[in-house]
């Protein structure tokens, strides 16, 4: 519900309140719903160790997770015509919005026992060895009976909170000369209880309850892919834009936008599917704060300039090539030649996106981020040497000064679980190369009748054939590479087309 309140003739206030109720997902036959529920214990690890899978109706929450009735989202907005003549305005707003658990995350609980089981084991952790077989059923092929190996779980936090965001904006607009408009805006959002997935039963996690080696904290299951809501994000941006018909008479229009922003989070995507993610979820599933850093899509500076030149009919239609006889074939040919042209161009430039460097030397299922042992550049060199074996591959960061495998948890003999050293590099500490590009189009229209015309189109993408370098994030592992590789990408594409408009 909401309403507008005209406080003054030139000032309007908007107030609103929204309530969302999403309910708890369930199967028509709720006996098929099962989830992992914590057991007794003094901390998270003991409760996980003593946890068990239960049919949802028989669980402590009476369902897959607990109901939530508190999703109230207030809204506030205002608009102020500063001088009362429509030449300058100040607008702003703030609100809270909620999001339901999206299906793919929670729907996967159908893979839990007892109705279903996914045998997910790691050699040397859950079983001694995994023999190679041509049988589609793997080690469970053949006749007779076999003991089912440890199964993995897709578990939803029974106390999961709804994801929500606070968002705000403030914008000042001023009309300038030549009907141009200058806009300066501040835009931001704060994401709270964002959905995440992390493995809370990693190899070696038993060390938190007094175990040693690669044992898992809950010995009944293998991976417990925990669907929770521990993600957080913060975004703020200053946006300056300028829009003007530079020369209205000649159909020339310019639009320019610049954004300075900062985007921080501890997990950029629920499924960790970004190009530079080596792990499922957080580096430390029990301490998401270690992953607080620049978002995978954090671009600090971005600029876009767009130009449109449309030859106006009224300017060139009076051009005379053949004396006073403006209806001659020569005059008509001249009009057809000089009128109906449109030129467009879009120039885009932005700074590089962040990335992490990992060390998978001693990891079984998780790669620790680089434990820095010597100084290293914090940004990519602009004149990176080319890899002689692959013409388009470049050495962007020299990691040969670093020592792989320096971290091993003494209680486990692996690097999958912490506590991690203080000199472990932060998430997305490093920055990739910047980007710039120019696209352009040239169009010529021929009008046959009042309603029918033909348009010839010439469009070019990456006009200057500029090669932008980028980091190959999937190879950012110092256990495999002494130079972090990058690649250049960019080629000019030109296309021709004809379009009939009627």
pTM of the model: 0.88
Confidence at 251, pLDDT banded by 50, 70, 90: confident
Q: Judge residue 154's burial from the number of C-beta atoms within 10 Å of its C-beta, 0-12 exposed, 13-18 middle, 19 or more buried.
A: buried
Is residue 113 reached through a cis peptide bond, with omega within 30 degrees of 0 on the bond before it?
no
| Pairing outcome for strands 151-156 and 224-247 | parallel
Q: Say how far apart CA 248 and CA 236 lie, in whole Å.
A: 35
Which of 211, 229, 247 is a domain's end point? 229
Decide if 306 is inside a domain: no
Confidence at 312, pLDDT banded by 50, 70, 90: low
CA 91 to the chain's CA centroid: 28
> Within this chain, do residues 210 and 73 fall inside the same structural domain, yes or no?
yes
Q: What is the per-residue pLDDT for 338?
A: 74
Q: List Cα–Cα distances, 8 to 4, 11, 15, 75, in angstroms.
A: 12, 5, 15, 20
The per-residue pLDDT for range 61-112, each reduced to its tens digit, is 999 999 999 999 999 999 999 999 999 999 999 999 999 887 777 888 999 9
> Within this chain, do residues 471 and 341 fall inside the same structural domain, yes or no?
yes
Decide if 267 is inside a domain: no
Q: What is the count of structural domains for the chain?
A: 2
Decide if 17 is inside a domain: yes
> Within this chain, do residues 14 and 157 fall inside the same structural domain, yes or no?
yes
The per-residue pLDDT for range 361-371, each reduced to its tens digit, is 999 999 999 99
Which of 183, 205, 229 is a domain's end point? 229
Decide if 148 is inside a domain: yes
> Within this chain, do residues 339 and 218 fall inside the same structural domain, yes or no?
no
Task: Report CA torsion sign: 372, 378, 380, 382.
Answer: negative
Q: Say how far apart CA 107 and CA 27 lie, in whole Å.
A: 9
Decide if 317 is inside a domain: no
Decide if 487 is inside a domain: yes
Decide if 451 is inside a domain: yes
> Within this chain, do residues 215 and 348 fall inside the same structural domain, yes or no?
no
- Which residue segment(s) compose the domain that 355 sits in? 335-502
Which of 201, 229, 257 is a domain's end point? 229
> Within this chain, do residues 485 and 342 fall inside the same structural domain, yes or no?
yes
Decide if 65 is inside a domain: yes
> Within this chain, do residues 216 and 348 fall inside the same structural domain, yes or no?
no
The per-residue pLDDT for range 162-219, each reduced to its tens digit, is 999 999 999 999 999 778 999 999 999 999 999 999 999 999 999 999 999 999 999 9
């Amino acid at each position: 519900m909401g309403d507008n309140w005209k406080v003054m003739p030139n000032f309007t206030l908007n107030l609103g309140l929204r309530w969302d109720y999403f309910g708890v997902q369930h199967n028509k036959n709720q006996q098929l719903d099962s989830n992992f529920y914590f057991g007794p214990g003094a901390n998270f690890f003991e409760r996980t160790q003593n946890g068990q899978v239960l049919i949802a109706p028989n669980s402590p929450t009476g369902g897959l997770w607990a109901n939530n009735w508190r999703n109230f989202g207030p809204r506030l907005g205002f608009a102020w015509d500063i001088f009362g003549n429509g030449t300058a305005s100040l607008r702003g707003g703030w609100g809270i919005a909620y999001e339901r658990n999206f299906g793919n995350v929670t729907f996967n609980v159908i893979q839990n026992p007892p109705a279903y089981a996914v045998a997910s084991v790691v050699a040397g952790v859950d079983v001694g060895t995994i023999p190679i077989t041509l049988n589609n059923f793997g080690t469970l092929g053949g006749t007779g009976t076999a003991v089912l190996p440890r199964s993995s779980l897709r578990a939803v936090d029974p106390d999961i909170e709804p994801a929500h965001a606070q968002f705000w904006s403030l914008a000042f607009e001023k009309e300038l000369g030549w009907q141009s408009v200058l806009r300066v805006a501040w835009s931001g959002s704060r994401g709270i209880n964002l959905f995440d997935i992390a493995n809370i039963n990693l190899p070696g996690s038993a060390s938190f309850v007094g175990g040693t080696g690669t044992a898992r904290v809950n010995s009944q299951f293998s991976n417990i892919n925990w669907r929770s809501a521990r993600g957080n994000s913060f975004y703020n941006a200053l946006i300056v834009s300028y829009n003007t018909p530079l020369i209205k008479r000649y159909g020339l229009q310019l639009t320019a936008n610049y954004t300075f922003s900062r985007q921080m989070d501890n997990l950029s995507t629920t499924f960790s599917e970004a190009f530079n993610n080596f792990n499922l979820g957080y580096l430390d599933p029990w301490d998401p704060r270690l992953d607080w850093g620049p978002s995978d899509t954090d671009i600090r500076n971005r600029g876009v300039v767009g130009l449109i030149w449309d030859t106006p009919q009224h300017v060139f239609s009076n051009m005379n090539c053949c004396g006073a006889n403006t209806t001659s074939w020569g005059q008509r040919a001249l009009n057809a030649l000089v009128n109906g042209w449109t030129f467009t161009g879009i120039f885009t430039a932005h700074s590089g996106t962040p990335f992490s460097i990992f060390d998978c030397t001693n990891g079984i299922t998780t790669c620790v981020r680089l434990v820095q042992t010597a100084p290293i550049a914090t940004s990519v060199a602009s004149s990176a040497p080319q890899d002689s074996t692959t013409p388009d591959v470049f050495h962007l960061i020299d990691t040969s000064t670093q020592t792989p495998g320096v971290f091993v948890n003494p209680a486990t003999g692996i690097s999958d679980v912490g506590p991690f050293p203080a000199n472990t590099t932060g998430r997305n500490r490093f920055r990739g190369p910047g980007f710039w590009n120019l696209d352009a189009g040239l169009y010529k229209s021929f009008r046959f009748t009042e309603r029918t015309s033909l348009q010839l189109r010439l469009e070019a993408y990456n006009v200057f054939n500029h090669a932008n370098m980028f980091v190959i994030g999937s190879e950012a592992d110092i256990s495999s590479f002494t130079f972090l590789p990058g690649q250049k990408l960019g080629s000019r594409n030109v296309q021709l087309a004809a379009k009939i408009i009627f």
